[in-house]
Each structure stands twice: as C-alpha cells, then as structure tokens.
Structure 1
Amino acid sequence: MSRSTASIDPILAVQGLTKRFGRPPAQVRAVEDVSFTVAPGEVVGLVGESGSGKSTIGRLALRLVDPTGGTIRFEGEDVSALPERRLKPLRRRAQMIFQDPYASLNPRLRVSGILGEALDAHGLARGRRRERMAELLDLVGLPPEHLDRFPHEFSGGQRQRIGIARALAVEPRLIVADEPVSALDVSVQAQVLNLLQDLRARLGLAMLFISHDLDVVELLCDRVVVLYLGRVMEIGPTAEVAARPRHPYTRALLAASPKADPDAPRIARLLTGDIPSPLAPPSGCVFRTRCPLAGEACASAVPPMREAGDGHRFACLRDASEMREAA
C-alpha cells in the first residue's frame, strides 16, 4: 500500500546519517550519508543484502549505537547526541523487535517475567500488572495462560509473538522490526506479517521494517529504502519502486525474488560476485564493481540522488533509457 505522507510531520527523520566503526586504516564504513523519514502510522522498509547497513541503521534510529555523523530526529526532537541518561523517554516511545525469537527472550524467565521487565523499566501497570500482561498476549493472539510458561515451551512463531508483545508493553509510537520473520518457516512468516499489519492498523503504529526480501517488503511497507554497502540506492513508494525500479541494484533484487518474471530484462539477472568489504568500499559508486552498466565515470563520482517523480528517487549516473538499451 502506498500513500502520500508529504504533508505529515515525520515521527522519525534521519539526515546524512553516518556510522563508522574502528579507526583508520581499519575503519568499517557501515552507514554513509543516509537520509529518510517515517511518518506517523507509516511502515518504511529498509532492504538490501547482508552488509548493506540495514540493522545498523535500525539501531542508530533507537540510539542503541551512537552515530558518527548526521542527525536523528524523533517527533521533532534531535536525539543524535543525547546522553544515555536522557534517552529513557525515547526508549519508551520507540521499541525494537529482534530477528531471532530464540535468542531474544530470557530462557530463565516465564512470559510474565519477560513482559514484567518491560513494564518495570518504565514504571507501568504497577496496579494491574497481570491484567495488562494478559491484554498484551491477547493483542498478539496468545491466551493468558501462556503467562506462566517458559520460552522453551513455545514454537518460533509463538516466541516471536511474545517478543512483539514485549515491544508493545510500553505503548510505543515507533517499532523497529529487524528481520522479524527471516528465522521462521514460510507459513509462520505469513502469520506474523499478518499480525504486524493488524497491529499497525489497530494501534496506528509507525514501523521501520528491516528485511533482505523485497517480496516481504511489498506486502507490508508503504515506502522502501534500498541500501547497498551503507548507501541509499533508491527510495520511494513501494509499489512504484517494485513496478518501475530505476537503479540496477533494485532490479537485481527484484529479479532474485521467487516470483521474478523469467522474461524480465537481462540486466536484472547479471548481478554476480559478493558485496565488497566495508573496510575498503569501491570509489565513486559503491555498486560499480557488480553493476552491468558501470562506466568510467562511476569510478570517480558518487551518484547524487535523482528525482523520478512522486517521492521516487535513485542514485545512478545512468538514466532509464540507457538501462533499457543495456537490457
């Protein structure tokens, strides 16, 4: 589903976001000059291969790691450089759902203890704890008697539902979902995605949804940000980007999808090799070493973001006609 959010003040806005780990010469360039917004009630997808910087951006958005440069604004407030002692209000308004439902829950605690920790951290529901915890389980489709069980008694999908309930315990405005279905069986993935869609509609949640799978992003997200080696390659309404991709990397991701059209342009099927090391990213366009359209100019110039209309932008020196001719 795509919708216009241009007139709505964003709940999350990152501008020029940069994150580097370590020191030169062994410095990892994890995120480089990334900018996007998430409007209230909107779901924005971050998509790309492993090593593209998706999870780092999610952690930066919640200030679980500190940015090297750029700004992070949450509901208009610059939280980029807030000290740890002042981040508690942000942590209540923005929560994370983790990728691994087996590792993200404390195996020594019952479900009541897991949810109780979240409530205690923010001083919530002290007078009606059990009732509130039962409400949270009901939100994610689990019966209240599960409160007395331990994580090992549940399936992966049920554990992820408990993780979602924990994230919702503090009534956040924004959820960062870091590959929340990638560790689950395909049939269970669909159930959890349907749950997230339902929660988004019922609670008006905004969401930053991280995935390597464009098919999943198409199901859930209003807009998508395509990332490669820490940089934005393309951004726009999900339906528009999926139907008319402007960047060769986006085309390659779409071609890799199980529903890819066998008659799709050949350019989309020419992506070979591995993503380069973020310790030594290519000069110019970071995608050029794997791009079938790369020319001499791509080695020296970092492509600026170009407008394709209606909020659709892409970072490539080649235009759409050249891509069609190369196909």
Structure 2
Amino acid sequence: MSMTDTLERTAGSAADAAAAEPLVRIQQLSKQFGSGAHPVRAVDNVSFDIFPGETLGLVGESGSGKSTIGRLLTRLIEPTAGSLQYRKDGQVVDLAHLSQRELRPLRSDIQIIFQDPYASLNPRMRIRDVLGEALSTHGMATGAARQKRIEELLEQVGLRPEHAERFPHEFSGGQRQRIGIARALAVQPRFIVADEPLSALDVSIQAQVVNLLGDLKDRLGLTLLFISHDLDVVEYLCDRVVVLYLGRVVEVAPTEALYARPRHPYTQALLAAAPIPDPAQRRTIPLLSGDLPSPKNPPSGCVFRTRCPQAESQCAQADMQLRAVGGSHTGHLQACWKVQD
C-alpha cells in the first residue's frame, strides 16, 4: 500500500467524513527558494489530505513551513514540485499546474485570512470598498445588491453596517481581523486558509475570534486549514492536526488522540513546551534544546535527530516515511522509525 493510500484510508474519521473524498489532497509538495547547491527547502515532500467540513490544524515551530504551505495552497507562491489536488463538482483539478487564467474561476472557492490584519488591508480604502472589491472582481454583486451583501458580511463577523464607511486605522486589531474574515467570506468560499489569524491579537480578543471562526465554519459549511503555533487553540478548534518540522510532516492524527498520546518525539516536545497552569506540576518530557537546523542544509535521515533526546546512530540513515500507529483505522500516522505502536 502506498503512503497516499494510507493517508486516504486513515485520515477521515475525525472529520465526520468517513465515506467522503478529500476536498484537498496535497501530494509530495515541495517549495525551494533560491538555487544552486543549497536552496532553502521550505517545504520538503509533504503529503496530507483535508476533508470536507473539517478544521485541520497545521502546527510547528517558526520556520517549519506552515505559512509557506498556506501560500502554496492559495497559489500566492508557486510550488517547486508536487500536486495540490482540489475537488470541485465531482472533478479533481491540480491547482499546482493551472495557469493564472485557469485558476481564476477557482479563486472564489479558496480564500485566505492573513496573519497581520492591518498590513493586509489597504489603508486608503474604506471598508465598503475593501469588501466590495472582492465582489466586483468576481462579478458577484453590483449596485444595491452589492451594498446589501457588504452589510450582511459586516453583521456576520460582529460589526455594524455603518462601519463600512470607516478606514482600517479607525478599528482595533480584533475588528480589523474581523474585516479580514469578512473579506474572505465575501465570495462565498468553500475552503479557507487561516494563516495564524490570532498571533497579532491580544489574548482576550483571540478567544472571540476563535469562537467566531468556529461558528462561521459550522454555519456556512466551510472547510478550514488553521495554521497556528498556539497549541491550546488548535486543541479547541481543530478536528485533526498535522505536525511539521523543518518542512516535513512528522505526525498526523485526530486532535484528541494527538494530545492524549503524541507518538513522535518532536510532537511530544512541542506539547511539553506549552505552559503548565499548575506550577507544582513537573514536566516528564525534556524541552527542546538547540536551534532549528538550516533549511539550506537539513540533517540526513530524520531531520529532527540533531535535537531529539532519543536519537541513535541509525536515525542518520532512517527514512521519514509516515507509518500508521495504533491500527490503520485510527488515522494516526507518525514518522519515527523507533515508534512501533
């Protein structure tokens, strides 16, 4: 059985889509920046599925390739290799190999919410123009219908219709992110990439935006790729989680299973690094030491071996293939050769 077959057969249980085909299938996706003998390998042979109606979390340290994958999925940057299969009306198209003209009809299906809500909004445009631009570009509404749709979008994200006449600098950070969400929703997408949408917000505001995303996802039937470094939010919001390290997938699992029993040493260390509310509680897993290796010259074998407390000499030659653990029905995959179950 190929790894693609394994991913397809095991990944759907947590998404309430046991019989569904993936909405998005990423296969052997790679992105290199630069050229020569040592290009930056930002994403290195990544494969995973995203099922209709699920929220998939994508986690890892800064520099792991999370945002690069999000930009590849939306074709804001071009992949070096691999495929980005997207299912629409029963047909599968490879987004990675479509021209910009061929992509245009699909742009309304796939939208992105950016990390920095202020930088992603034109400071010279009123909010009615920010939201209306998307509607006009895709020919979805004009005149009175356009104005009505703008008011509906603002209300959907918890803002008032009169906010349409303001400029971005007149809003708080949380309100600006709500506008970014409204802009993504304007063209009625099926799939949204949320690229660390909480990182620029205060903690008190983060909870409001998380609840908003969860409510909109359920109410509108959206599929969501949620990119974040906040493991608590991922546990709360996501159905499944993909763990990245140095541009490679090291573990994929339903959220409950991953947090209850992480299998890969990197996932264990990542979860152990999360703050512990009880100061009397002791950590049982050592924290990560050392810096992330350079993506220009990643370690041979297992790329995590230079920081892994369990590393052995064999890890320098070991492959990084995902393997099912706990039985193929669990949807739990990990890439450490030492983990047997």
TM-score range, shorter chain: over 0.9
What are the equivalent positions in structure 2 for 1:54-93 lying under 5 Å apart?
54-75=66-87, 76-93=92-109
Q: 1:314 is aligned with what amino acid?
A: Q
Offset, 1:4: 4.1
Change in CA separation of 1:222 and 1:149 when aligned onto 2, cut-off 3 Å: same
Q: Distance in 1 between matches of 2:312 and 2:230?
A: 28
The residue number in structure 1 matching 2:195 is: 178
Q: Distance in 2 between matches of 1:312 and 1:264?
A: 24
Q: Distance in 1 between matches of 2:57 and 2:133?
A: 29
Matched, 1:94 2:103: no
The residue number in structure 2 matching 1:40 is: 52
The residue number in structure 1 matching 2:254 is: 237
Offset, 1:26: 3.6
User: Is contact 2:126–2:168 with CA below 8 Å preserved after alignment?
Assistant: yes
Matched, 1:312 2:332: yes
Q: Distance in 2 between matches of 1:142 and 1:259?
A: 35
Out of 290, 297, 306, the position equivalent to 1:289 is 306
| Deviation by residue 1:236-262 (Cα, 9 ceiling, x = unmatched) | 101110111001111111111124773
Out of 29, 35, 44, the position equivalent to 1:17 is 29
Offset, 1:263: 3.7
Structure 1 vs Structure 2 CA RMSD = 1.5
Gaps of 5+ in 1: 322-327
User: Is contact 2:43–2:65 with CA below 8 Å preserved after alignment?
Assistant: yes
The residue number in structure 2 matching 1:324 is: none
| Deviation by residue 1:26-58 (Cα, 9 ceiling, x = unmatched) | 401011111111111111011000110000111
The residue number in structure 2 matching 1:300 is: 317
Gaps of 5+ in 2: 1-12
Instruction: State the SS of the aligned residue for 2:47.
Output: strand
User: Is contact 1:270–1:292 with CA below 8 Å preserved after alignment?
Assistant: no
The residue number in structure 2 matching 1:29 is: 41
Aligned length: 319
What are the equivalent positions in structure 2 for 1:1-327 lying under 5 Å apart?
2-75=14-87, 76-127=92-143, 128-259=145-276, 262-265=281-284, 268-308=285-325, 309=327, 310-319=330-339
The residue number in structure 1 matching 2:9 is: none
Change in CA separation of 1:281 and 1:271 when aligned onto 2, cut-off 3 Å: same
Shifted more, 251-260 versus 118-127: the winner is 251-260
| Deviation by residue 1:152-179 (Cα, 9 ceiling, x = unmatched) | 0000000000000000000000000000
Change in CA separation of 1:3 and 1:74 when aligned onto 2, cut-off 3 Å: closer
Q: Distance in 2 between matches of 1:62 and 1:3?
A: 22
User: Is contact 1:137–1:144 with CA below 8 Å preserved after alignment?
Assistant: yes
Q: Distance in 2 between matches of 1:129 and 1:60?
A: 30
Q: 1:106 is aligned with what amino acid?
A: N
User: Is contact 1:94–1:172 with CA below 8 Å preserved after alignment?
Assistant: yes
| Deviation by residue 1:214-251 (Cα, 9 ceiling, x = unmatched) | 11111111000000000001001011101110011111
Change in CA separation of 1:167 and 1:52 when aligned onto 2, cut-off 3 Å: same
Q: 1:312 is aligned with what amino acid?
A: H
Change in CA separation of 1:187 and 1:320 when aligned onto 2, cut-off 3 Å: farther
Q: Distance in 2 between matches of 1:281 and 1:133?
A: 47
User: Is contact 2:112–2:192 with CA below 8 Å preserved after alignment?
Assistant: yes
